[in-house]
């Protein structure tokens, strides 16, 4: 009997490095980024529905506010793209159980799109290669290809051209979550405004960070975290500066705004230090909520 339903688990990401080049004529920026997939997961279930019923979607879980439950959701866009590419008639319901913060710089929408690609490939027995999945993913957004593979990787171009990073060890993170997201386009626009009049170099991989990851040295990794969008995120959301200061005051090895924010990621030495920092941040009253996670973890993976 053919399989009619599948659930795919997919992680969040943080950027250990996000270096942003000058604004190009097409409005985009060349990037060099180092992604790490971490242990906060969405679950995407795709189930066949009766013929001619079309594609529907529902959102459940802890992080549903602001997630589009219509054709604007990247998961539905993934289905439409695959239906066109592989000449499929898709009648299905997509249920997304959200735990990844929304508009938090952690690629929650991109993660769901990646999970949907894996689900459709499985349900239709397409036998897609990783390259074919990546080709579809890159049309949906620059973070989507990474969410297929997970782990730790270097992204170039707009972030979609991936090279696996030579990384060892497990890294422990404490995440200060915000109740209100930040718009990625707005953060890039503010970044351009803050840098206007300055000469911006083309981005390069941070070699000190790569050496620290290879050596499994969390202290050195913490010292080399960098995000060129951080100043813009803090300009739009000044309270983030206080969050960064408090976390470092309480012993984080390093801190940065993840991606376009507003999630702030703190690297700590081990699980116990993570628990201590989470308690301290919660008691400080400067953060909405706190989560702990570790990385790297695998990308989109079928659960059943």
CATH number at residue 104: 3.30.230.10
Q: Are 155 and 235 contained in the same domain? A: no
Q: Are 89 and 222 contained in the same domain? A: no
pLDDT one digit per residue (tens) for the chain, 304 residues: 457 999 999 999 999 999 999 988 888 899 999 999 999 999 999 999 999 999 999 999 887 777 888 889 999 999 999 999 999 999 999 999 999 988 788 989 999 999 999 999 999 999 999 999 999 999 999 899 999 999 999 999 988 899 999 999 999 999 999 888 888 899 999 999 999 989 998 999 999 999 999 999 999 999 999 999 999 999 999 999 999 999 999 999 999 999 888 999 999 999 999 999 999 999 998 888 899 999 999 999 999 7
Q: Are 34 and 176 contained in the same domain? A: no
pTM of the model: 0.93
Q: Are 247 and 270 contained in the same domain? A: yes
Q: Provide the domain count of the chain.
A: 2
Q: Which residues contact 299 (CB under 8 A, 6 or more apart)?
A: 10, 11, 37, 114, 146, 147, 148, 149, 150, 151
* Residues recognised as catalytic: 13, 143
Domain around 159: 5-165+297-302
Using DSSP, how many helices (H) and how many strands (E) does the chain show? 10, 12
Q: Are 15 and 150 contained in the same domain? A: yes
Give the SS3 label for residue 232: helix
Q: Are 37 and 151 contained in the same domain? A: yes
CATH of the domain at 175: 3.30.70.890
Q: Are 160 and 263 contained in the same domain? A: no
Q: Are 178 and 100 contained in the same domain? A: no
Q: Are 21 and 40 contained in the same domain? A: yes
């Amino acid at each position: 009997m053919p399989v009619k339903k599948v659930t795919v688990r997919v992680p969040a990401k943080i950027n250990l490095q996000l270096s942003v080049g000058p604004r190009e004529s097409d409005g985009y920026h060349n990037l060099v980024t180092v992604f790490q997939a971490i242990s906060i997961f969405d679950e995407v279930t795709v189930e066949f529905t009766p013929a001619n019923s079309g594609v529907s979607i529902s959102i459940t879980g802890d992080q549903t506010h602001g997630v589009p439950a219509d054709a604007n959701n990247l998961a539905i866009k993934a289905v439409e793209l695959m239906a066109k590419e592989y000449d499929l008639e898709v009648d299905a319901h997509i249920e997304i159980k959200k735990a990844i913060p929304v508009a938090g710089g952690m690629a929650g929408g991109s993660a769901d799109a990646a999970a949907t690609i894996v689900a459709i490939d499985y349900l239709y027995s397409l036998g897609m290669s990783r390259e074919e999945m990546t080709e579809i993913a890159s049309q949906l957004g620059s973070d989507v290809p990474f969410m297929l593979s997970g782990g730790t990787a270097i992204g170039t171009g707009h972030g979609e051209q991936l090279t696996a990073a030579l990384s060892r060890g497990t890294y422990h993170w404490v995440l200060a979550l915000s109740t209100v997201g930040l718009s990625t386009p707005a953060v890039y626009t503010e970044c351009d405004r803050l840098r206007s009049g300055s000469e911006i170099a083309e981005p390069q991989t941070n070699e000190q960070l790569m050496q620290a990851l290879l050596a499994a040295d969390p202290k050195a990794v913490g010292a080399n975290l960098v995000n060129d969008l951080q100043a813009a995120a803090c300009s739009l959301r000044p309270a983030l500066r206080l969050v960064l200061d408090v976390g470092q005051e309480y012993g984080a090895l390093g801190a940065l705004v993840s991606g376009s924010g507003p999630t702030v990621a703190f690297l700590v030495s081990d699980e116990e230090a993570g628990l201590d920092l989470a308690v301290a941040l919660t008691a400080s009253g400067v953060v909405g909520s706190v989560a702990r996670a570790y990385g790297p973890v695998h990308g989109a993976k079928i659960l059943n």
